[in-house]
A and B are shown apart, each in its own frame.
Chain A
């Protein structure tokens, strides 16, 4: 693969205005699939099932099978539409999108075409620097996911060069809502950051609604990013590329930046952009060309005759509207005020994806400052080291419990970090780890005094200095005592006792 020429990002932005667009697929976490009563692998309870064990006749397109719409998926889709500020269609319909692909059991995808369930909305997206950008939403429609292909043989596990592929239909029929933005103008230098923040916002919205597990690494959220450039001062939109299935927020950001630099280099040389899908390669940080748009995209849509119009009662819409959680941007504003964090402190939490974790830890009884300190500090450090999601490492309840042990004097900060390590390792609650590892602070003065007397006896010169009023010399004794106590002592208390015993 030849390396693409790239233009410097700032230079590209001088010459061209980037126009963005996103299609985000959200996997709903309903108990069953969109059109069958088979278990939904996008629900935590069924995640990771063996291949082809979560399949009903309609999911694999068995002869005679018919789809029936999942009522809960309709509610979730309406809620999501409302959270995106969309109008809910008084009547919407399913349509068949016809194309042959081995992961598509029926060789058509049941989707929505000209009558989506939700349309015309907008969502406030907060960038890392606190700027708010309003992203216009064109539509949100319901559809089903396809199965999963694994490409075998060849070297790369990629489609190119594979000898054969294996198909698992567990994912076929997973309920999806596809959210399509209108063209987004004016992001300028923040375009890559906006891409990331937009996906984060969608994730926060669906998480807040509780309608998706919202784990990007599992494909619960998948983003296609459209990028086009137009020369400064030009009205007409440039040709866009669609980078498919970018599955982490950092990648979305990088992919948008890359496409801006790549397209700018081509345009600046007088070249033209090919309208095509592109693939993001996490390893190389590049995109590569995929399928050009062609008449193979003739999907022959027509209304799905096996399904009927969805005509939500106005009361249902109002019920779901009333139950909507606070929009992410508004919630941030509120929490920041409630917690009394500085701008920087708050951005640290928000940009780390730790808002929920911190909020839940505070709800579990921790003070805001200590909750923030744990999550942005030690837990994030471990998460980075283990390449995991901080929120997956430890529950907010356990973090609050840990802080309670510190506040009660049972643990020192240092001991608490060891306890946290045990909790992350799955050894139980903080108290259980304290008990099992015997990590609590030694608060029995008798044991400390015995150790101090021994240390003083061993270092008569130090004892003399202390008695001479050179109190700082006590450090050596304190260190020896702490070592003897394997660190499980409160250093301040040890110091007090050392001075007491030395004076006797």
Chain B
């Protein structure tokens, strides 16, 4: 559960860890239920209405002004978003 909190970047309290741990069972129950019918020969449907090759022409269109980009920034400096020190590295 702690690991899930790290992956999801949510700092869970001890109580949250406790109550959520119990609720993972719901997922397990759901998987048990769908497994009754989700047999190998059934194809998965990722999009309810199948489409393919939806592309956009390579023409510049949308573009925000820097003011728009930064408008909601919790913190900024030099036209960029400012964040506190980063521990982990790039992926």
The interface of chain A, by Cβ under 8 A from chain B, is 30-32, 36-39, 50-57, 60, 68-74, 91, 93, 99-103, 107, 109, 146, 149-151, 159, 162-169, 244, 277, 290-291, 295-298, 300, 303, 305, 307-312
Contacts and interface: CB of A to CB of B under 8 A. Distances in A.
Interface in B27-85: 46-47, 51-66, 69-70, 77-85
* Chain A, interface SS category: loop
Given A74-B55, A102-B83, A53 B78 contact: no
B52 A310 contact: yes
Interface of B: 3, 6-7, 9, 46-47, 51-66, 69-70, 77-86, 88-91
A291 B63 contact: no
B66 A305 contact: no
Contact of A164 (B47, B58, B60, B84): B84
Given A166-B77, A166-B82, A99 B91 contact: yes
B83 A39 contact: no
B52 A103 contact: no
23 contacts: A37-B63, A38-B63, A39-B60, A50-B66, A51-B79, A52-B79, A53-B69, A55-B63, A56-B64, A69-B55, A70-B58, A71-B55, A164-B84, A166-B78, A167-B81, A167-B82, A290-B89, A295-B3, A296-B6, A300-B7, A305-B46, A308-B52, A308-B54
B90 A311 contact: no
Given A32-B60, A51-B80, A57-B62, A159 B89 contact: yes
Contacts of A303: 46
A102 B62 contact: no
B52 A91 contact: yes
B47 A308 contact: yes
Contact of B56 (A52, A69, A91, A277): A69
B58 A69 contact: no
B78 A51 contact: yes
Contacts of B56: 32, 37, 68-71
Contact of A309 (B52, B62, B84): B52
Contacts of B58: 30-32, 70-73
Contact of B81 (A37, A57, A166): A166
A149 to B, nearest CB: 7
Nearest to B90: A101
A499 B32 CA distance: 107
A69 B54 contact: yes
Nearest to A65: B62
